[in-house]
Structure formats: C-alpha cells, structure tokens
Structure 1
C-alpha cells in the first residue's frame, strides 16, 4: 500500500515492503513490551513482551534507534557504565485510525530501558524536575530524529495527545534541518535550555530571536561553527549525535566537540 504524501521533505518512502509482525527491535534480545496502564506515580506499566505489526521499514528504522541508544549507553553512560540496552516500551504501531498509523508507518514509543534503573519513561521524564532525566529524554528524541522524519513528544505535541509517548513516523534518515519544521526547532531549543544553560528558553517550535541565540550558543560550544545543520543530512547528523552524547552522559554542551 502506498503512503500518502506528507511534507516536501518526507514525501517518499519504501512502499513496496510488506508489513511484518515482531516482538523485538534490531535484535531478538531487545524485546518490545506493551504499555497497558500507568501506576500511581504516573509511570507506564509494561507487564509482558508483545508482538506488533508494522511496515517493515518502520521496524528497521525503529531498530536503528535502539541500536544507537545501546551504543550511547555503552560509551556515554552517566554513571556506572557501560549500560547494555534491554527493552523498549510501545503503545501501538499499525492501528486503524487517521494518520500514518493506519499504514503501519508510525510507532508510539513509551520506555527505553538500559537495565539497573537506567531508563526513560516518556510519560514522566521529558518534563521532570531532574535535569539529567530531561537530558536523557532529549538524547532519545535526537536519536529518533536520525531515523524518522517526524518526532512528536511532550514539547512537540500539536494535538495534545503526545505528552505520554514519543510518536515517530515516515522512516527516513535525517535530512537537513529545517527551522520551519517544529520537530527540528524543538530539538535545538531543548538542547539550548538543558545543555547550553539558557534556562529561560521557550520550547515552542518557533525559530525566533531567542532560538537563534540558543543555536549560536550551541554552535560555539560544540565547535560546530563550520557545520550548518540546514545544509546537508550529514551536517545535521553531526548535531544530532552531539546532542545525543551530551544528553546521555549528562554533560554540558562543549564537553564533546564536532569532529
């Protein structure tokens, strides 16, 4: 089944691949678990391994997310590393409703778990008072953006339904950043606030004067003045990788440099 067109940046996909049903992402050791409820503290409950049906391309791209998150845990663990990736929480994939879910081209992600208490719960940690958890959530969002065209989350939530999960759709590697695109702008704003220390940064998807200031601060701290993320996919992946490393390690921008 052919996908409908979305934005000009993500108007193509590998439509000839079939749907597949799996209970794992990337490796059969990295299972998916279905979020069935929330506990009294607001965290998702994921009682059992569950199979999900989705477009094969979506499964492949989602697998790349967990592959990269495993690599971040191995090399950039905040404490007591290396961390080995364990499992992924999921709220749904192919569902008969409007949007990309009906084509199996979207997946809703709810938890990323490295074991030993090291995890991100997407219903809680994006706006947690603890900065290291917000940073880790940001690392997950940046990693998702490397492999999917659209990433919706607690700060990029156009219809108010994404406060408790990360929705990704249109499995494409990162194209060049587009500051008219809220997925990209919110990543920069979030990084400027929680990595570069611009604590009053609004994460609203509007690339205005404050966001430009934050972008320039990040570019200086990252040593990336010559790397324009809007110029090419390769350049943007440099930025996403830097954000992911800093976020996972709970480090201020500039700890790791471009190149």
Structure 2
C-alpha cells in the first residue's frame, strides 16, 4: 500500500523502500519480544522472540533508537555499568487500522532491556514513585524523539490508549522542536520536573508560563542559553542528548553541560 505522501510520512523521500519482516533491531542479537499480557504488578509479559513486519525505514530508525540506548548504557549507566543492550518489547508495528501503523510507519514499544534488572517497562515506569525510573523512561522518550517526529506515551496520550506503551511514527519529521506540538512540550516539562526539580510542573503539553520558567531553568542548568532547540534540528538533538544522558545516569540537570 502506498504512503499518503513521502514528505508527510518520512523525513527522507524513501517511500519506495519495501516492507521487511525482522525479529531484531539494529543488531541481530537485539531481539524483539511480543508483549502478550501483564503481570499482577502491571508489568508487561514478553515470553518469546517475535518477528514484526514494518516499512524498512521504520526498522532502520527504530534500530537507531536501540543503538543510542546501548551507547547510553555503556557511557551513562546509573550503577554497575557499563550496561549492554539486550532486547526490546514490542506490541505491534504494521497493523490494518487508521494511522501510520497502516503503512508500517509506526511501532509500539513496551520494554527496553539492558539485562541484569536494568530496564524500562512502559506500562509502569513513566508514572513510577521512584524518580530514577521516571528519569530512565524520560531518557528513552528523548532518544525516541531523536529519530521519530511523533512520540506518544503516558504523558502524551491524546486518546487514552498509550498508558502502557510508547508509540513512535514518522508522520512528522524528526526536526527542530515546536512548542505547539505536545511531543516536544511534554519532553521539556518532564525534564523540568524530574531533572531540574520543579516538582509541581504539569506535564500537559501546554507551553504556558510555568513551562517557560521550567525551560529557562533547564537552559541555565545545561549551559544552553545560546542553543535554541526550535531553531534547528541540530540544536534540538543537542538538548535531547543532554536530557537522555541525565535521565539514564539519574543525575540532576547541570551534571552534564552543553559543549
């Protein structure tokens, strides 16, 4: 099935690429496991390696997410590092339903696992009481946004269905930040709350006065006063990298600063 348009669906005009079926992302040893259920505690159950069909570029971009998460585990593990990436939980990719899943241009993530008890389960950790797990979830969100323009999650859930997984798609280019877009605003709000210590920050996608103050606090802490994330994709990538490093390492904003 053809895409709606290459400019709308992908950051590059590569819509002629075919669908592919794989059971791995980026590295053939980094398998995908299908989430089949939830445990009594709400965590996703992923019993077996599963192949998924998706557009080839979606597979490539998702693989880059895993590549970057592996690098974060190697360089910025919270404890007992380095962590080597192991496997990814997935709920679905190409599915005959409205939206970019229909075209194989979306994928739903449910778990990111570095082994030895180091993981993000998207059914629980986004709203965890323990801040280090919320921070790690935020790191995953930031890395996803580096490679996908749209990232839906427990705090960016327009239809109430994303409380238990992270949806990414290529319906929007992975470009400069746009504060009118909830994907980008919720990342800044979450970082202001859990990295900069603004504990009453609402993560609601509305870039109002409170978010403006949180954004400024992050700019000062990161030493990024001259790096406007809305000005270019390179600038926003620098911000996303800072957020991801702090989140993975469980560090307060300012531990790492813009180069």
Gaps of 5+ in 1: none
Query: Measured at CA, do residues 203 and 7 of structure 1 come closer, stay the same or move farther in structure 2, by a change above 3 Å?
Result: farther
- Residue 104 of structure 1 is matched in structure 2 by 104
Give the Cα separation in 1 of the matches to 2:84 and 2:173. Answer: 24
State the TM-score, normalizing by the size of structure 1: 0.97
Q: What count of residue pairs does the alignment treat as equivalent?
A: 259
Gaps of 5+ in 2: none
Query: Measured at CA, do residues 159 and 175 of structure 1 come closer, stay the same or move farther in structure 2, by a change above 3 Å?
Result: same
Give the Cα separation in 1 of the matches to 2:7 and 2:207. Answer: 18
- Contact preservation (8 Å) 1:13, 1:172: no
Q: How does 1:1-259 map to 2 (within 5 A)?
A: 1-4=1-4, 13-170=13-170, 174-259=174-259
- Contact preservation (8 Å) 1:58, 1:171: no
Q: C-alpha displacement at 1:215, in angstroms?
A: 0.2
Query: Measured at CA, do residues 129 and 7 of structure 1 come closer, stay the same or move farther in structure 2, by a change above 3 Å?
Result: farther
CA RMSD of aligned residues (A): 1.7
Query: Measured at CA, do residues 241 and 157 of structure 1 come closer, stay the same or move farther in structure 2, by a change above 3 Å?
Result: same
- Contact preservation (8 Å) 2:8, 2:172: no
| 1:16-71 Cα distance to aligned partner (Å, 9 max, x none) | 10000000000101000000000000000000000000000000000000000000
Give the Cα separation in 1 of the matches to 2:79 and 2:246. Answer: 13
| 1:147-196 Cα distance to aligned partner (Å, 9 max, x none) | 00100000000000000000000077630100000000000000000000
- Contact preservation (8 Å) 2:150, 2:172: no
Q: C-alpha displacement at 1:11, in angstroms?
A: 7.6
Query: Measured at CA, do residues 8 and 34 of structure 1 come closer, stay the same or move farther in structure 2, by a change above 3 Å?
Result: closer
- Contact preservation (8 Å) 1:147, 1:172: no
Give the Cα separation in 2 of the matches to 1:99 and 1:109. Answer: 16
State the TM-score, normalizing by the size of structure 2: 0.97
| 1:189-223 Cα distance to aligned partner (Å, 9 max, x none) | 00000000000000000000000000000000000
